Structures are given as C-alpha cells and as structure tokens.
Amino acid sequence: MHYYESIIDTIGNTPLVKLHRVNKGIKGTILVKVEYFNPGNSVKDRMAIRMVEEAEKNGTLKPGGTIIEGTSGNTGMGLALAGIARGYKCVFTMADKQSQEKIDILRAVGAEVVVCPTNVAPEDPRSYYSVARRLNQEIPNSFYANQYDNPANAMAHYETTGPEIWQQTEGKITHFGAGVGTGGTASGTSKYLKEQKAGIVTVGIDTYGSVFKKYKETGEFDEKEVFPYLTEGIGEDILPENVDFSMIDHFVKVTDKDAALMTRRLAREEGLFVGWSCGSAVHGALEYARQHLTDDDVMVIILPDHGTRYLGKIYNDTWMKDHGFLERTFATARDIVHR
C-alpha cells in the first residue's frame, strides 16, 4: 500500500512549471514553483511544521500545549495542520485587512482566531504582534512560534525549497525570485542556492508601503516608506530577523494594482489560479528579468499560495473596479458576441 502516515508528510516536492505567455518578449527560461500543491495550499506549510518540530525538540512545546502565532493566514493553516497531526491547540492573531476567507479557513480546521486592527504601529498593544505576545504570556503551556524571528523558518527553506529547486533545475538555475514577508522563503532558499553556485542572483519582491528595498539600498530604516497597502503576505513595517539582506541581491517594489493584474493574468493565461503575492512576485521578477536575463538564463520564481483565498478581492471584478484596478466590470452578452 502506498500512503502517507499523516497529511503533513505530503508537504514539499512541489512542481516547477514553465511560463509561456506573461513573460512574452523576455529572454531566458522562466519557471514558477507552485506552492499551492502543499496540503495547506501555501509555501508556509514548510516552515510551520519545521517550527513545531524545533519547539518539540528544544522543549518549548510540550504535549497538550497551545501554538500561538500572528499570521496573515497561510502560516496559521500550516500550523493548524501540524497542530492536528501532533495534538496541539492553535490560537492565531490576524490583522483585519486579511481576507475573510483566510479567517474562515483557519476556523474550519479548528483554530481560534483573534482579529486585530491593521493600521496601528507594531508596538501598539492592539497590534497582532502585541496580542500574540500577550496571549503567550497568559495561556499556560503555550508556544509563540514567532515566524518573523524564529530561525526554523528560513531553515525550512534552506533544507527543502532550496534543494528541490537545485535538483529540479539540475543546477541550471541562474536567478531566483521570491516575495519577502518574514523573509524566510527568500533568505533560506537563496542561502542554499548560493552555496551550490555563488553567482545565482536573488531578487526579493517588496511592496510600496514597506521598508525592505530602501533598507537594502541605504541601510536606513525609513518610517516614511511605511503606509497602508493591500497586498497580503509581503512587505513589512519591521525588519524581521529572517530577512537576511546579504542573501537578497536586489529588491523590486510592486504596486497593489500591478500585482492584482498580473495575478489575474497568471490565472487566465497560464492556468495558474494563484494568490495576490504571486502576481507581485512574477511582475517584480519579470521587471528584473526584462533588463538582465539572457537566452541561457533560468529564473525560478516562488508562487506562495492559491487563488481561492482571494476570490472576494482581486478575482472579483466589482472589487477590482471599486479599487480603481479595473475600468469596467461585467461583460454584457453583447460584449461577448462582439469581442
């Protein structure tokens, strides 16, 4: 019989898929690593189980314990699956800008979710970072995963995402692109790849409203860079320890609108029904590729999650129009006949 002992054993070994249309006119081979094939439908499954295993090993997580985390949703899903497999309760704090689908999904797998205001400073007691810390102090036998600063996050990508990409490309990868939130994916994967071949160039994708690009280029944490934005999962108003700036050679910033439009193109033109930050990653990485790639180059871009979580937002024409991202909404019967 061929079966997995538990759903968490199906994490990883996601496919690489070649892009054909959205990269038209750009040299080189552009491959995407489709992380929605993970059981929690996102790249974050990889680090969630790794953080839990590490906490079990060093004794911070004991039988019957509670896992606490501040999460934009995907880490929570990964932790919830790990919690079910290993017998832990989960309590998550989440910023209220995240899609309702993400909250519902976490509750569906038995987690408790505390929704916190988005537009308060990280050190404000109401922020989802602060509330997670407080719950950790108040709930006995609880473990605060802290994906921002927990080294098991980047380590998971060093141990799995990096080696998979290296083997799948047979060492031919020359460029690597990934969105940067906690920084775990970009930093850990890049470290492994650069150890195999020093010349590999890593492009980190950032959002407008986030501090990373300016910090990389000037070494300055500039609060003026920070303003509310809509893209979920990438960009920060803090500098997480999991962002290793020496592993990310260039940052490209992508607007909410460009990311949303590219995500919709990925679905319609490539059949990749993926999440919003996937559009950011592809738009940003292709902007770099357009200027720098040659015919022999091979770029791999991480697509972190699945499109279902964004049906009420970027895949909804009315929502897109309301945000000024689309000029018109529904096609009429006449449009369809005459297009």
By annotation, the residues acting in catalysis are 44
φ/ψ (deg, to 5) at 71: -145, 145
CB of 73 to ligand PMP, least distance (A): 7
**Which CB, 35 or 225, lies closer to ligand PMP?**
35
The whole-angstrom separation of Cα 143 and Cα 4 is: 27
**Which CB, 209 or 304, lies closer to ligand PMP?**
304
**Which CB, 149 or 220, lies closer to ligand PMP?**
149
Choices 51-59, 174-182, 195-203, 291-299 (CB under 6 A): range interacting with ligand PMP: 174-182
**Which CB, 42 or 66, lies closer to ligand PMP?**
42
R_g over Cα of the chain: 20
**Which CB, 65 or 279, lies closer to ligand PMP?**
279
Question: Within positions 194 to 233, which residues make up the interface with ligand PMP, using CB under 6 A?
Answer: 232-233
Choices 77-85, 175-183, 316-324, 328-336 (CB under 6 A): range interacting with ligand PMP: 175-183
* Residue 101 contacts residue 308 (beta carbons within 8 Å): yes
Question: Within positions 66 to 85, which residues make up the interface with ligand PMP, using CB under 6 A?
Answer: 72, 74
> For 255-292, b where at least 16 C-beta lie within 10 A, e where not — what string?
bbbbbbbbbbbbbeebebbbbbbbbbbbbbbbbbbeeb
* Residue 212 contacts residue 243 (beta carbons within 8 Å): yes
190 binds ligand PMP (CB under 6 A): no
The dihedral built from the CA positions of residue 16, 20, 22 and 23, taken in this order, carries a sign that is positive
Instruction: Please calculate the CA angle 197-202-206 and round it to the nearest 5 degrees.
Output: 165
HEC assignment per residue over 89-133? EEEEEEECCCCHHHHHHHHHCCCEEEEECCCCCCCCCCCHHHHHH
Instruction: Please calculate the CA angle 16-153-49 and round it to the nearest 5 degrees.
Output: 80
**Which CB, 66 or 280, lies closer to ligand PMP?**
280
Q: Which of 12, 181, 279, 284 binds ligand PMP (CB under 6 A)?
A: 181
Please choose, from the candidates 13, 14, 78, 91, the residue with its C-alpha nearest in 3D space to the C-alpha of residue 52: 78
Residue 210 CB partners (closer than 8 Å, separation 6+): 225, 226, 229, 234, 235, 236, 237, 253
To the nearest 10 degrees (0 to 180), the angle between helices 276-292 and 256-270 is 90
Nearest position to ligand PMP, beta carbon: 233
277 binds ligand PMP (CB under 6 A): yes
The whole-angstrom separation of Cα 146 and Cα 257 is: 30
Q: How many residues bind ligand PMP (CB under 6 A)?
A: 18
150 binds ligand PMP (CB under 6 A): no
Q: Which of 40, 65, 78, 183 binds ligand PMP (CB under 6 A)?
A: 183
CB of 152 to ligand PMP, least distance (A): 12
275 binds ligand PMP (CB under 6 A): yes
Q: Which three-class secondary structure state does DSSP give residue 322?
A: helix
CB of 304 to ligand PMP, least distance (A): 4
Q: Which of 14, 305, 313, 315 binds ligand PMP (CB under 6 A)?
A: 305
185 binds ligand PMP (CB under 6 A): yes
180 binds ligand PMP (CB under 6 A): yes
Q: Which of 70, 177, 304, 307 binds ligand PMP (CB under 6 A)?
A: 304
184 binds ligand PMP (CB under 6 A): yes
Footprint of ligand PMP (CB under 6 A): 44, 72, 74, 179-186, 232-234, 275, 277, 304-305
